[in-house]
Amino acid sequence: MRGGGGGPFGQHAIEEKLTRHDATQVLRRLVPYLRPYRVRIVFSILLLIGQTACLLAGPALVRHGIDAGLRKNDAGALNLSALIYLFAAIAGLFFGRAVIRMVAKVGEAFLRDLRSRVFRHLMSLGMDFFEREKTGKLVARMTSDMDALQELVQMGLVMFVQNGLLFVGAILVIFLMSWKLALCTLVVVPPVVIASRWFRKASNKAYLLVRDRIGQNLSTLQEGLAGVRVVQAFARERAFTRRFQETNEAQYDANIETVRISAKYFPIVEFAGVAGIALIVGIGGAFVSADIVTVGTVAAFVLYLNNLFEPIQQLSQLYNTLQQAGAALQKLFELLDTPPSIAERPGAVDLPDEGGLELEHVSFGYGAEDVLHDISLRVPLGERLALVGPTGAGKSTLAKLIARFYDPREGNVEYADVDLRDATLRSLRERIVVVPQEGFLFAGSVRDNIIVGKPDATDEQIRDAIAALGLVDRFDAFPDGLDTEVRERGSRLSAGEKQLVSLVRAALADPALLVLDEATSSLDPGTERTVERALGRLTEGRTVVVVAHRLSTAARADRIAVVDDGHVPELGTHDELIAHEGRYASLYAAWDSRAAMGRAS
Amino acid sequence: MRGTLGSQRAWLVLGVLSGVSWTAAKISVPLLAAGAIDNGILPGNSQAILVYSLVIVAVGVVQGLSSGFRRYCAFRIAYRSETDLRQRLFAHLQRLHFAFHDEAQTGQLMARANTDIFQINQAVILIPLTIASSLTLVGVVTVMALQSVPLTLLSLGALPLLNIAATRFSKRMQPVTTQLQEKLGDLTAVVEESVAGVRAVKGFGSERLQERQLDHEADAVRDRSLESARLRSGFLPLVDFLPALALVAILWYGGHLVLNGELQLGYIVAFNSYVLMLIWPLRMAGMLVAQASRASAAAGRLDAILVTDPQVVDKPGARELPPGPGEIRFENVAFGYHGGRPIFTDLDLLIRGGEAVAVVGTTGAGKTTVARLVPRFYDVDGGRVLLDGTDVRDVKIHDLRRNIGIVFEDTFLFSDTVRDNIAFADPQAPMETVRGAARLAGADEFIDDMPDGYETIVGEYGYTLSGGQRQRLAIARAVLADPRVLILDDATSSVDPTKEHEIRAALREVMSGRTTLIIAHRPATIALADRVVLLDGGRMVAEGTHDELLESTERYREVLAQAAAVEAASTVERVP
């Protein structure tokens, strides 16, 4: 609860501020994205101006009605004013409707494109990118950042422009009516502007604190619930409730601070509004006596006052929405600027259908330090090689280089004598397939999950793949067969079933070289045997590199490479390595004695 | 709810008073402006103009001040009740029995304490605002009607339409918003999967497939958004249009009244202001109804939790645990979870003071249940559990649990310092005691190696510990209070077998001189016990030393072999 810090709760990310320079940059980059919509954008602005004119016409017509109609006892002039007012109102209704639709069309099309473009770019980035960045952060680009833009498109943008036009328009109109009275009236505007700026900044800061405190409070709450058994086991309910009280009250204090700020701001604004009326009535009254303005003008000024104050408050609030959207765009552009580390070379060739794998003096590291040091390995066509070694020794990294998730820092990886860097990505992914055995399942049906590697596969091909692994019975047992929904991350399937789906997926893709990352979780013995049998059939006749977590798997491979600290100190068949009495032999001895216990039954 | 509001009567009164004065001030300003026009400007009475202006300023001061007060009171009341309610909920949840927490999901409870309480808060905020709005409405209508009833009807008649339109709008908007949220959720799911499953995506080169999916979802999001824009475009312009109709009516009909000498000109201005004043209160009425229904649903869900009584509570007249060696006795114990399938129908078990007994059995045989009945995490359905001759139900729970130290399989550590985690049972414990417990649990060495030693923050947001290290901290936590009975509930099962011996050494140390109940399936851990009890089918089927049972009991060998097979099949290099 001390390092709690925020969390995904509370209001929007208010702290994201853009400097003027950044804002200019973002705007500049935005221009090409908006170019396709330029006609509609210009049209939208015209509509907005029309709508604003209709809104601003009201008080002017009241003025005309008073001066030309009421003061001169001319019913005709009064009727005309009212009639024009009615038309202005109706026109405003249609303008308003058209503006919302037009802006939505442009904005939503823009967002749709941006989503697609950002995602495509994301998918083109290399594994190094995904390992460096946290999943949550990447997802946030496509969710909360897009939401900030969506909010702007849906409400903010129209309101922002509308209020800006209204404010400027109102000032313009009152100056045209009487610049002297206008100058006197505008005295009340600067305090409101200053107060609004102060309010925006103070409340942003306060809400940021509220968000932090909510986050902290929620994490205490979460701990209190997740750890309730420990709390009760040690009879600490009362103490823990007191602990919650601290964060709970801290959240209250932060909330009250926001209340204090608005309790200071709104009185100023309301008072300024009333003071404005007093000014107009007082000075305007004197002007009427001096014949500088008419009564109608005084009345119109009182009514225009609303059009000055509302926009200031609205714009001040909308400024946040605008800032957030700007910050979101900036982050999205940054993402779009990240170059893919694994790109296809110009003139890349397709990999041959079959061939052996060869690593020559391969060194690699994620950061400054190398994880793999000068490794050379040959895996001839059809051989099954197991990589064995402690966690962090570099087994998985080696597997990733073989699949070209990364390019080596030094040396090269070749398949059928073609450097992977010279191969087309499509042929690479067809020949070499990586199978995390602990299969990752996507939301959708079992079929959707199987065709991942071959989207155009027919049901017959799928059934063949299932049959090839001897899993017909298991797949027939699913409630809706291939149409069984697996739900998010496959939570409806058991761990064993997930592995089987993952294996069928690989069988359907039918690669020449299979890179298998063995599962670490244990299954019940029956399923375990099914998985092993399917695995045996899958690897049959293929070149296979398996990252082995179990020595039983390693023992079944043609050859074993012991990976330790980025080197391959031992390489050979099971019997050779046992005879060698090195690391593998001692690992095997330790494992065997424990397995013996299990075999005793 | 009523109770939490009651304690704030003073703020409530102040809030209502300032609300009333705010409304009064707000309504009088247009009247004063009208007066200034009719009695000052039109007759050219500059002294009257001055007086009116000054009075308007004075009223402005009142309006400003009461606006601040009413706002402060309203929000203060709302936040106070929110905070109190959340505190009550938390305290209640802390007291609720294990069985409740077994069934409730943490996420659900979090939602109760977070979103549901927030919904209630939003409704409470609206109460004083609604009072002020209603007052404004009544005041304005009265003032206008006093001048001219037909004009009032004509100008305000269209405004309720605003309310009707708002209700209709939100009703039609709701399914679209829900659909939009769903579609956004689908889109997020595609992104999340593609990022989390990027190895699978790239491994099979299926980026195109994911991209097609995303485009599909993005299209759906766009279509829903456009639909919602269409609905908005039907409603939002009305917010300007309907009041404008009222203003037209005032100018036209009111103008004719002025021409006929039935209305003073200033009221044209005043009525204009009044119409604008009523827009918000009318729009809010719809919001209030919607929020009230959300809040009452939320309150219902909260109430369901608050009325759940803790089932495991002190009996009236419960006493302290009498001193004793820590002898545990199960007599004819019957028990089943949540009244479901019975785990035990008639279990007898005796663990003598100072003895270490391992309980062994297959999954579902009730090993862990035995461990949970002693500290009264659950109450037995029949028979009784005795600690040093006293039925555990007759002892004060606090005292009972303070005499029992438990190490769970899931070693939950709090986001707090190492010191505070070890001293969890007794935060006042002197540093020497904390160090002593750590030493006993074999944790002192790695704690000293940590960046801030005993002050290092661990837990979800803190320093990352290995499974074995977490386990040793949990052991230190259990022995800090020097408990009479120590329960090791599958305490070594999540520890890397190659590191298990380190923990075993620590355990041997802490077990000496205490009654120890060990739930285990690894022979090495079982070997720590003086005696082994084999549970099967809800009863004790065999007892003896590990070696004796290995020798004599076929079922014992089976159970151990099964456990070992599962483990041997799992990894050689399990990441702790």
Instruction: Give pLDDT, residue B498.
Output: 62
Query: Does B157 fall in a domain?
Result: no
- Looking only at the bridges linking them, the beta strands covering B515-519 and B356-360 are parallel
Instruction: Give pLDDT, residue B341.
Output: 79
Neighbours of B109 (CB within 10 A): 23
Which residues in B lie closer than 8 A to residue A73 (C-beta atoms)?
A: 259
Min Cα separation A334/chain B (Å): 18
Q: Is B343 helix (H, G, I), strand (E, B) or coil?
A: strand
Biggest CA pair distance of chain B: 119
Query: Does B101 fall in a domain?
Result: yes
Q: Which residue of A has its CA nearest to B195?
A: A135
Question: What is the block-wise mean pLDDT of chain A (601 residues), using blocks of 10 residues?
Answer: 31 55 84 88 93 93 91 90 94 94 91 89 81 76 82 82 92 92 90 90 88 86 83 84 91 93 91 92 90 90 87 82 84 84 79 85 83 88 86 81 85 87 83 77 81 82 88 82 71 75 86 82 72 84 85 83 86 86 80 58 41
Buried b (16+ CB within 10 A) or exposed e, B184-212: bebbbbbbbbbbbbbbbbbbbbbbebbbe
The residue among B80, B117, B248, B374 with the most chain A CBs within 10 A of its CB, best to mutate, is: B248
Which residues in B lie closer than 8 A to residue A85 (C-beta atoms)?
A: 244, 247-248, 251
Give contacts of A 515-534 with B, CB under 8 A.
Answer: 515, 520-525, 528
DSSP summary character for residue A133: S
Same domain, B306 and B349: no
Asked whether the beta carbons of residue A78 and residue B259 sit closer than 8 angstroms, the reply is yes
Starting at the edge strand found earlier in the chain, the sheet holding A567-572 runs: A432-436, A513-517, A543-547, A384-388, A559-564, A567-572
Q: Which residue of A has its CA nearest to B498?
A: A590
Q: Which residue of B has its CA nearest to A490?
A: B193
Same domain, B371 and B389: yes
Min Cα separation A458/chain B (Å): 16
Please report which helix (H) or strand (E) contains residue B122, including its range: helix B117-147
Quick one: tokens of A274?
A: 């009333």
Q: Which residue of A has its CA nearest to B554?
A: A601
The whole-number average pLDDT for the span B272-296 is: 81
Put simply, whether A78 touches B (Cβ < 8 Å) is yes
Given a contact cutoff of 8 angstroms between Cβ atoms, the answer to whether A304 and A173 are in contact is: yes
Asked whether the beta carbons of residue B69 and residue A299 sit closer than 8 angstroms, the reply is no
Q: Which residue of A has its CA nearest to B54?
A: A278
Instruction: Give pLDDT, residue B249.
Output: 92
Instruction: Give pLDDT, residue A80.
Output: 93
Query: Does B260 fall in a domain?
Result: no
Given a contact cutoff of 8 angstroms between Cβ atoms, the answer to whether A406 and A126 are in contact is: yes
The whole-number average pLDDT for the span B140-167 is: 87
Asked whether the beta carbons of residue B29 and residue A277 sit closer than 8 angstroms, the reply is yes
Instruction: Give pLDDT, residue B3.
Output: 53
Say what percent of chain A tops pLDDT 70. 93
The whole-number average pLDDT for the span B524-549 is: 85
The model carries a pTM of 0.75
- The number of residues making up chain B comes to 576
Write the DSSP assignment of B516-539 as a string of letters. Answer: EEEE--SHHHHTTSSEEEEEETTE
Same domain, B435 and B293: no
CA distances from A331 to A118, A156, A447 (A): 11, 20, 36
Same domain, B463 and B547: no
pLDDT tens string A330-379: 888 888 888 877 777 788 888 888 888 888 998 988 777 888 888 888 88
Share the mean pLDDT of chain A: 84
B218: nearest CB among A97, A116, A224 = A116
Instruction: Give pLDDT, residue B156.
Output: 85
The residue among B32, B269, B499, B558 with the most chain A CBs within 10 A of its CB, best to mutate, is: B269
Put simply, whether A58 touches B (Cβ < 8 Å) is yes
CA distances from A395 to A391, A562, A564, B497 (A): 8, 9, 8, 22
Min Cα separation B500/chain A (Å): 14
Domain boundary among the residues B482, B505, B520 is at B482
Given a contact cutoff of 8 angstroms between Cβ atoms, the answer to whether B159 and B275 are in contact is: yes
How many Å apart are CA A480 and CA B316, to the nearest integer? 56
Q: Which residue of A has its CA nearest to B497?
A: A594
A443: nearest CB among B110, B193, B208 = B193
Separation of first and last alpha carbons in chain A: 49
Sequence-separated (6 or more) residues with CB below 8 Å from residue A268? A191, A192, A195, B64
Query: Does B180 fall in a domain?
Result: no
Query: Does B538 fall in a domain?
Result: yes
Min Cα separation A20/chain B (Å): 31
The whole-number average pLDDT for the span B102-126 is: 82
Instruction: Give pLDDT, residue A5.
Output: 31
The whole-number average pLDDT for the span B482-496 is: 79
Neighbours of A223 (CB within 10 A): 25
Sequence-separated (6 or more) residues with CB below 8 Å from residue B100? B308, B310, B311
Q: Is the pLDDT confidence value at B574 over 50?
A: no
Please count the residue pairs, one from chain A and one from chain B, whose beta carbons lie less than 8 angstroms apart: 461
Same domain, B514 and B366: yes
Put simply, whether A429 touches B (Cβ < 8 Å) is yes
Min Cα separation A507/chain B (Å): 11
Residue A382 has phi, psi (to 5 degrees) of 85, 0
DSSP summary character for residue B253: I
Quick one: tokens of A261?
A: 């700020």
A281: nearest CB among B56, B202, B252 = B56
A75: nearest CB among B206, B256, B408 = B256
- Which range has the worst mean pLDDT, A436-450, A587-601, B274-288, B340-354? A587-601
Instruction: Give pLDDT, residue B467.
Output: 75
A130: nearest CB among B87, B195, B375 = B195
- Tokens 């929405």 correspond to A321
Cα radius of gyration rounded to whole Å, chain A: 35
Asked whether the beta carbons of residue B184 and residue A230 sit closer than 8 angstroms, the reply is no
Q: Is A2 helix (H, G, I), strand (E, B) or coil?
A: coil
Q: Which residue of A has its CA nearest to B216?
A: A116
- List for chain B the helix, strand, coil content (%; round to 5): 65, 10, 25
Which residues in A lie closer than 8 A to residue B227 (C-beta atoms)?
A: none
Instruction: Give pLDDT, residue B134.
Output: 87
3-state secondary structure A313-350: HHHHHHHHHHHHHHHHHHHHHHHHHCCCCCCCCCCCEC
The residue among B62, B192, B253, B363 with the most chain A CBs within 10 A of its CB, best to mutate, is: B192
Domain boundary among the residues B465, B482, B499 is at B482
Same domain, B340 and B476: no
Query: Does B215 fall in a domain?
Result: no
- Tokens 């005043």 correspond to B270
Cross-strand pairs, B204 = none
The residue among A83, A101, A123 with the most chain B CBs within 10 A of its CB, best to mutate, is: A123
Given a contact cutoff of 8 angstroms between Cβ atoms, the answer to whether B382 and B538 are in contact is: no
ipTM above 0.85?
Answer: no
Chain centroid to Cα A585, Å, comes to: 48
- Which is nearest to A316 in space by CA: A443, A207, A201? A201
Which residues in A lie closer than 8 A to residue B110 (C-beta atoms)?
A: 218, 221-222, 225
Q: Which residue has the higher pLDDT, A323 or B574?
A: A323
Residue B245 has phi, psi (to 5 degrees) of -60, -40
Asked whether the beta carbons of residue A97 and residue B234 sit closer than 8 angstroms, the reply is yes
User: What's the burial of A19, exposed, middle or buried (CB within 10 Å: 0-12/13-18/19+)?
Assistant: exposed
Q: Is A567 helix (H, G, I), strand (E, B) or coil?
A: strand
Instruction: Give pLDDT, residue B570.
Output: 45
Domain boundary among the residues B431, B460, B482 is at B482
Query: Does B293 fall in a domain?
Result: yes
Q: Which residue of B has its CA nearest to A110?
A: B222
Q: Which residue of B has its CA nearest to A399?
A: B203
How many Å apart are CA B217 and CA B184, to the nearest integer? 8
Q: Is the pLDDT confidence value at B186 over 90?
A: no
Instruction: Give pLDDT, residue B571.
Output: 42
Q: Is A375 helix (H, G, I), strand (E, B) or coil?
A: strand
Same domain, B32 and B117: yes
Cross-strand pairs, A156 = none
- Which is nearest to B290 in space by CA: B180, B171, B124? B171
- Which is nearest to A567 in space by CA: A422, A376, A348? A376
CA distances from A81 to A60, A66, A568 (A): 9, 9, 93
B203: nearest CB among A237, A435, A587 = A435
Q: Is the pLDDT confidence value at B573 over 60?
A: no
Residue A275 has phi, psi (to 5 degrees) of -60, -35
Same domain, B369 and B288: no
What residue spans of A432-541 are helical by DSSP H?
446-450, 459-468, 472-476, 495-509, 525-539
CATH number, position B120: 1.20.1560.10
DSSP summary character for residue B89: H
The whole-number average pLDDT for the span B401-424 is: 86
Biggest CA pair distance of chain A: 119
Same domain, B39 and B102: yes
Cross-strand pairs, B395 = B319
Number of separate domains in chain B: 3
Same domain, B107 and B6: yes
Chain centroid to Cα B484, Å, comes to: 35
Q: Is A151 helix (H, G, I), strand (E, B) or coil?
A: helix
Q: Which residue of B has its CA nearest to A442?
A: B193
- Which range has the worst mean pLDDT, B251-255, B302-306, B570-574? B570-574
The residue among B54, B63, B110, B240 with the most chain A CBs within 10 A of its CB, best to mutate, is: B240
Residue A225 has phi, psi (to 5 degrees) of -85, -45
Domain of residue B4: give its range.
Answer: 1-147+284-311
How many Å apart are CA B320 and CA A427, to the nearest integer? 76
Share the mean pLDDT of chain B: 85
Put simply, whether A439 touches B (Cβ < 8 Å) is yes
How many Å apart are CA B470 and CA A283, to the nearest integer? 78
Min Cα separation A503/chain B (Å): 12
Query: Does B230 fall in a domain?
Result: no
Same domain, B546 and B449: no
Which residues in A lie closer than 8 A to residue B40 (C-beta atoms)?
A: 281, 285
Same domain, B434 and B524: no
CATH number, position B471: 3.40.50.300
